[in-house]
Amino acid sequence: MKITEEEVRYVAMLANLALPEEEIHRFQRDLNEILDHMDKLNELDTGGVEPMAQVLYEAGETATLREDCPLPPLSNAEALANAPQPGAGYFKVPKVIER
Amino acid sequence: MNIPSLTIGRVREGLGKKEFSARELAEEALRHAAEENPKTNAYLHFSPERALAAAARVDEKLARGEDPGPLAGVPVAVKDVIVTRGVKTTCGSRLLAEYVPPYDATAVIRLEQAGGIIIGKTNCDEFAMGSSNENSAFGPVRNPVDPERVPGGSSGGSAAAVAQGTAVVALGSDTGGSVRQPASFCGVVGVTPTYGRVSRYGLVAFASSLDHIGPFSRTVRDSAVLLRAIAGRDPLDSTSAAAPVPDYAGLMDGGVKGLRVGVPREYLKDLASETAGLIERGIEALRGQGCEIKEISLPSTDYSVACYYIIATAEASSNLARYDGVRYTGRSANSETLSEMYRNSRGEGFGLECKRRIMLGTYVLSHGYYDAYYLKAQKVRALIARDFAAAFEQVDAIVGPVSPFPAFKLGEKIDDPLEMYLSDIYTLTGSLAGIPCMSVPCGRTAQGLPVGMQIMTNHFDEGRMFRLAAAVEGGVPPVTPGAAQPLP
């Protein structure tokens, strides 16, 4: 057992996911099965191998730089158009300070 | 006009000879797609206003005698993870069911500048996470070849639209095989270009070090034309490559004589027997046209599933943190505090597979597991990339299967996530290395199910990839959209 029920609840908390009980149990089972498969990576000797974070190909060091040109931003109305609860030009949220 | 038989070249000819206007073609394509859609659920919504406005611009250019562009009048379907200004973009998720983006993806802008007509947005696995299109919040897509079967995923709607003949070409997105595998299952051409070849600005992010936008079409030439139109450096995506964009369709011609083609022995050992037979027949077709076929080895292949599902889910857990019920998603109604609102909105809004991947990705990044999983996977990724670099010292291209088996039945694998992940093995390796890969139809099984051959070349060598694909296309029986066609 790689991941306990406690750990599943902890990871769900880290990920900001409210999960019903049946999903906690289901994910414990699924994650254990998947993580068991992932142990396969330990068969490979990766000593001295640099981790690959991005696909790299031949390009100049400044290839990703560009001129800093100001462009018109989204208008306030456009930025708020998809918000579930806009108000007075802002995104409204439930109270932040919990008592 | 017969929409399912159209190609980009045929549309160009019809407009040139004034057989139809771009507006007439757009209206007919919209009508035809709406009529056919109940059979597959390939489209989530149509974009008639946008399509007719784009068609009007093409007709005006034609009337003035100007060049209307390489995609002039061509009906295009766009996967619903690529944002379209003023047209809903749901990502197949309940969370974004009502989301109307305020901007366009760069690929969408380039598509329309080239004269393309976006007729609608296609169904997909939620946030592009899946291999069967069964993870869409808006119902699965059915394979036009056999409605009891999945179209593949995650770009199942785009593949089905092109196979069904309701769009001439389509855009999909590919992170670990999401263009190639549905192309293989539906019997169409699907291309994952070199990482960075097409701007991802406006592609809703899943795993940023792996995400690509790529074309679908019924002919190799049409994918080559579409890729050229959307490729190239974009100041809005710093990962987009500055390398010049060649005329891919022009590079298709000239034959494949003398090209050295590698067949990785690791790719042929776990195949369904009919799939193996068809792939071998495709390899023979290449040999017959003068390719030098060599057996090669990509020794890290067996580690690609574990490597990919650590890296992709880790990146996804971070990218999907933005769906928080504040800015553009729905919000849970029953929350007293901000943190409760986040947790409830996400818990109620995401589907099962997205939650599973967010959980996995959060776990492998969490304190105490980062080195064992995430860092280890990044090192294995380097080994997989080295395999390809070594192989391309010996050969010009690599060919093999796209999927171990043809399209499976709806519901067949949905309850076994690991089994579903394992079926992605042959597409994941190329994704991790960032090389161009494509699926080209390579015949059908006795039941009439399409099988795609995968062709891979080195970074930015899409030209030779298309040339080999054209040779396979010319060497095996053609695909007609619509009905299943058992081989004699």
Q: Say how far apart CA B434 and CA B174 lie, in whole Å.
A: 11
Distance from CA of B108 to the nearest CA of A (A): 18
The candidate with the shortest Cα–Cα distance to B77, out of B10, B2, B168, is B168
User: Can you read off the two tokens belonging to residue A38?
Assistant: 């992932």
Q: Say how far apart CA B279 and CA B276 lie, in whole Å.
A: 5
| Residue of chain A nearest B299, judged by CA positions | A44
User: Does residue B444 sit in helix, strand or coil?
Assistant: strand
User: How large a percentage of chain B has pLDDT more than 90?
Assistant: 93
**Strands lying side by side in the sheet with B75-79:** B43-46, B117-122, B75-79, B169-174, B212-217, B189-192, B437-444, B450-457, B397-401, B260-264, B292-296
**Tens digit of pLDDT for each residue in B106-162?**
999 999 999 999 999 999 999 999 999 999 999 999 999 999 999 999 999 999 999
The candidate with the shortest Cα–Cα distance to B357, out of B322, B384, B407, B319, is B319
**Which residues of chain A carry a pLDDT beneath 50?**
none
Residue B234 lies in a domain: yes
Residue B378 lies in a domain: no
Distance from CA of B336 to the nearest CA of A (A): 6
Question: How many angstroms separate the Cα of B436 from the Cα of each of B121, B190, B429, B471?
Answer: 25, 11, 11, 17
Average pLDDT over residues B97-110: 97
Where are the extended beta strands (E) located within B123-279?
A: 169-174, 189-192, 212-217, 260-264
Catalytic residues of B: 79, 154, 178
Q: Do A16 and B343 touch (CB under 8 A)?
A: yes
Q: Where are the alpha helices (DSSP H) in B130-205?
A: 156-164, 180-186
Does the N-terminal peptide bond of residue B154 adopt cis geometry, omega within 30 degrees of 0?
Answer: yes
Residues of B whose CB is below 8 A from A22: none
Residue B228 lies in a domain: yes
Which amino acid, one-letter code, is at B166?
Answer: T
Q: Say how far apart CA B308 and CA B361 lie, in whole Å.
A: 11
pLDDT above 60 (res B480): no
Residue B118 lies in a domain: yes
Question: How many angstroms separate the Cα of B23 from the Cα of each of B30, B51, B70, B167, B204?
Answer: 11, 9, 17, 15, 30
Average pLDDT over residues B79-93: 98
**Tens digit of pLDDT for each residue in B265-308?**
999 988 888 999 999 999 999 999 999 999 999 999 999 999 99
User: Does residue B191 sit in helix, strand or coil?
Assistant: strand
Q: Do B378 and A53 touch (CB under 8 A)?
A: yes
Q: Please state, as a whole number, how many other Cβ atoms lie within 10 Å of the Cβ of residue A64.
A: 15
pLDDT above 60 (res B481): no
| Residue of chain A nearest B302, judged by CA positions | A40
Residue B43 lies in a domain: yes
Counting the structural domains of chain B, the total is 1
pLDDT value for B486: 38
Q: What angle do CA B262, B228, B9 make, to 5 degrees?
A: 100
pLDDT value for A99: 60
Which structural domain range is residue B72 located in?
A: 3-254
Residues of B whose CB is below 8 A from A25: none
Residues of B whose CB is below 8 A from A94: 335-338, 340-341
User: Does residue A23 sit in helix, strand or coil?
Assistant: helix
User: Does residue B165 sit in helix, strand or coil?
Assistant: coil
Residues of A whose CB is below 8 A from B421: 34
Q: Say how far apart CA B108 and CA B96 lie, in whole Å.
A: 19
Mutate to test the interface with B, among A25, A49, A55, A62 (most CBs of B within 10 A): A55
Contact (CB, 8 A) for B61 and B16: no
**H-helix or E-strand spanning residue B433:** helix B425-433
Distance from CA of B256 to the nearest CA of A (A): 26
Residue B182 lies in a domain: yes
Task: Give the residue with greater pLDDT, B347 vs B254.
Answer: B347
Residues of B whose CB is below 8 A from A83: 326-328
The sign one gets for the Cα dihedral A5, A9, A10, A14 is positive
Mutate to test the interface with B, among A1, A6, A32, A57 (most CBs of B within 10 A): A57
User: Can you read off the two tokens belonging to residue B146?
Assistant: 């056999």
Q: Do A82 and B343 touch (CB under 8 A)?
A: no
ipTM of the complex: 0.94
Average pLDDT over residues B235-245: 92
Facing A94 at nearest CB: one of B306, B321, B336 = B336
pLDDT value for A58: 62
Contact (CB, 8 A) for B190 and B439: yes
Residue B31, C-beta contacts closer than 8 angstroms, at least 6 positions apart: none
Distance from CA of A38 to the nearest CA of B (A): 5
**Tens digit of pLDDT for each residue in B48-73?**
999 999 999 999 999 999 999 999 99
pLDDT above 50 (res B9): yes
First-last CA distance in chain B: 30
Which amino acid, one-letter code, is at B24?
Answer: E
pLDDT above 60 (res B487): no
Residues of A whose CB is below 8 A from B381: 51-52
pLDDT value for B277: 95
Q: Do B382 and A41 touch (CB under 8 A)?
A: no
Facing B378 at nearest CB: one of A3, A7, A52 = A52
Q: Do B302 and A40 touch (CB under 8 A)?
A: yes
pTM for the predicted model, two decimal places: 0.96
Residue A27, C-beta contacts closer than 8 angstroms, at least 6 positions apart: A8, A12, A19, B355, B356, B359
CATH architecture of A1-42: Orthogonal Bundle (1.10)
Distance from CA of A88 to the nearest CA of B (A): 14
CATH number at residue B197: 3.90.1300.10
Residue B115 lies in a domain: yes
| Residue of chain B nearest A82, judged by CA positions | B328
Structure letter (DSSP) for residue B231: B
